[in-house]
């Protein structure tokens, strides 16, 4: 194994192959603190040639290669187990924007914020937005097919992709970076690599669509009694407003944690059982229309409305959830999809299950209501209760949902993939994996066990 580090040092230079534990430690634990591992070294390539060299060395020595972006993943997909090479994409930078085509070509290590800062100079932005925007890399968002808070209007990361450059597990460099809006000339590598969680290739660059930055936005934070009521409001809002771009929900437990951590006062009196956040974006938002809509809807208990820069103050209650939850423990993050009509029953089922069988576990349930994406975050799960995750995933399957809406399978859910994907389905995925990564060096233990 010392040979592997030596070979990497010969190719990359001594300083680029990091073994100092003071530096490597931050690459070995995931953002939640739940997944920890060990690695021979961390490498930080600056171009795709170096990535190709790293893949060659990993193949020759049968060493696992784990790709990591901003280390903001929530299912352990970028965390090594032991003995591998962590390849950080953080120095694969560079952004090139074509304003005619509204296309950005960028290195995989560019963060979402960096992309948006550059795009804003020409009045554009990336359509997908996630709360970890400061650290999350666009390459990582592609690898996990990140969904985020605007999926209801623009789709997820896959829908924004126009090209990819990747080094496959077999060492071949595939470059499809023309950034064409239309290209039906065979298999689409962008789609294949998107959501593959580092198991087929190392993504080195991507080409993505950009959209206009709207002139205005209006956000409403709404107190509601039930999730069914929240869904009724969402249905009416979708009928009423063509430019609805976010519909998020929160529950009292999560709002309480945010309040405790940030000592901020909830703007609507007592904390309600549930809260809904809706956002409209466009060049001509009529705030009055939103106010009238909220006043007339019988499921609205109370609401606060804010526009443009002030809207951040209302988003605060939703965006602080992840940080607040992590502050109060190491969560099990069960990010699931449920057909929207079943969300209310699903949440009630999970709450009753916990009350009856796992009284010490605290659930914080929130998510992207418009996409049917429910984030079930569990705190105080002891080792003796590990089967709880499985029980909830089995319930998700029985509701016709998916065990991963937007975070991926990672290491956290490998044992549960069979709940929602058939043996033929998984076998075909394995066939693809073996064809593109024959020595199985890329992210072993992620997606498949």
Q: Which residues bind ligand MLT (CB under 6 A)?
A: 74, 131, 321-322, 333, 335, 375
Other beta carbons within 10 Å of 354: 18
Chain centroid to CA 325: how far?
A: 16
* Sign, CA torsion 77/364/299/319: negative
CB of 43 to ligand MLT, least distance (A): 28
Q: Are 294 and 220 in contact (CB under 8 A)?
A: yes
Q: Find, among 47, 42, 33, 49, the residue nearest to 4 by Cα.
A: 42
3-state secondary structure 81-143: CCCEEEEECCCCCCEEEECCCCEEEEECCCEHHHHHHHHHCCCEECCCCCCCCCCCEHHHHHH
Give the burial string for 196-216 (b: 16+ CB within 10 Å, else e).
bbbbbbbbbbbbbbbbeeeeb
Q: Among residues 203 and 325, whose Cβ is nearest to ligand MLT?
A: 325
CB of 57 to ligand MLT, least distance (A): 34
Q: Among residues 165 and 371, whose Cβ is nearest to ligand MLT?
A: 371
Other beta carbons within 10 Å of 119: 22
Q: Among residues 162 and 246, whose Cβ is nearest to ligand MLT?
A: 246
Bridge partners, 277 (sequence order) = 221, 248
Rounded to an integer, what distance in angstroms lies between the CA atom of residue 72 and that of residue 226?
A: 31
CB of 377 to ligand MLT, least distance (A): 6
CB of 135 to ligand MLT, least distance (A): 13
Q: Among residues 90 and 377, whose Cβ is nearest to ligand MLT?
A: 377
CB of 246 to ligand MLT, least distance (A): 11
Rounded to an integer, what distance in angstroms lies between the CA atom of residue 104 and that of residue 99?
A: 9
Q: Among residues 262 and 297, whose Cβ is nearest to ligand MLT?
A: 262
Report CA-CA distances (Å) from 358 to 327, 380, 382, 426.
21, 10, 10, 32
CB of 129 to ligand MLT, least distance (A): 10
Q: Give the HSE-up count for residue 124: Cα atoms under 13 Å, Cβ half-sphere.
A: 18
CB of 318 to ligand MLT, least distance (A): 7
Q: Among residues 317 and 399, whose Cβ is nearest to ligand MLT?
A: 317
Q: Among residues 165 and 319, whose Cβ is nearest to ligand MLT?
A: 319
Q: What does the longest C-alpha to C-alpha distance in the chain come to? A: 71
Q: Alpha helices, DSSP H only, in 208-297? A: 227-240, 252-262, 287-296
Rounded to an integer, what distance in angstroms lies between the CA atom of residue 359 and that of residue 340?
A: 27
Q: Among residues 245 and 335, whose Cβ is nearest to ligand MLT?
A: 335
Residue nearest to ligand MLT as judged by C-beta position: 322
Q: Among residues 44 and 150, whose Cβ is nearest to ligand MLT?
A: 150
CB of 154 to ligand MLT, least distance (A): 16
CB of 70 to ligand MLT, least distance (A): 13
């Amino acid at each position: 194994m010392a040979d592997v580090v030596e070979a990497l040092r010969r190719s990359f230079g001594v300083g680029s192959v990091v073994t100092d534990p003071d530096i490597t430690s931050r690459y070995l634990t995931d953002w939640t603190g739940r997944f920890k591992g060990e690695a021979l070294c961390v490498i930080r390539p600056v171009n795709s040639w170096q990535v190709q060299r790293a893949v060659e060395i990993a193949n020759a020595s049968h060493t696992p290669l784990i790709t990591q972006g901003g280390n903001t993943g929530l299912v352990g997909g970028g965390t090594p187990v032991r003995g591998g090479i962590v390849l950080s994409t953080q120095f694969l930078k560079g952004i090139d924007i074509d304003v005619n085509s509204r296309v950005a070509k960028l290195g995989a290590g560019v963060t979402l914020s960096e992309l948006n800062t550059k795009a804003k100079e020409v009045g554009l932005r990336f359509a997908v937005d996630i709360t970890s925007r400061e650290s999350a890399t666009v390459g990582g968002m592609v690898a996990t097919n990140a969904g985020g808070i605007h999926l209801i209007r623009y789709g997820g990361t896959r829908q924004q992709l126009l090209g990819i450059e990747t080094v496959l597990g077999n060492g071949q460099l595939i470059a499809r970076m023309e950034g064409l809006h239309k290209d039906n000339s065979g298999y689409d590598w962008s789609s294949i690599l998107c959501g593959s969680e580092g198991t087929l290739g190392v993504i080195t660059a991507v080409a993505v669509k950009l959209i206009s930055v709207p002139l205005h936005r209006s956000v409403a934070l709404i107190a509601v009694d039930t999730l069914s009521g929240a869904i009724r409001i969402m249905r009416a809002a979708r009928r009423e407003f063509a430019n609805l771009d976010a519909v998020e929900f929160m529950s009292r437990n999560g709002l309480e944690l945010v309040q405790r951590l940030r000592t901020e006062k909830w703007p609507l009196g007592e904390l309600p059982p549930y809260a809904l956040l809706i956002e409209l974006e466009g060049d001509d938002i009529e705030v009055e229309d939103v106010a009238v809509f909220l006043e007339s809807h019988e499921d609205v208990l109370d609401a606060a409305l804010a526009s443009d820069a002030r809207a951040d103050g209302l988003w605060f209650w939703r965006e602080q959830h992840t940080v607040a939850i992590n502050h109060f423990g190491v969560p099990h993050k069960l990010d699931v999809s449920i057909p929207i009509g079943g969300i209310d029953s699903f949440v009630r089922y999970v709450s009753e299950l916990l009350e009856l069988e796992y009284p010490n576990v605290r659930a914080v349930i929130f998510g992207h209501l418009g996409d049917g994406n429910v984030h079930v975050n569990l705190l105080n799960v002891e080792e003796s209760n590990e089967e709880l995750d499985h029980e909830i995933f089995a319930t998700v399957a029985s509701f016709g949902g998916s065990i991963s809406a937007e975070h991926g399978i990672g290491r956290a859910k490998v044992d549960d993939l069979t709940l929602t994907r058939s043996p033929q389905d998984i076998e075909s995925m394995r066939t693809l994996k073996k064809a593109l990564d024959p020595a199985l060096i890329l992210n072993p233990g992620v997606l498949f066990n």
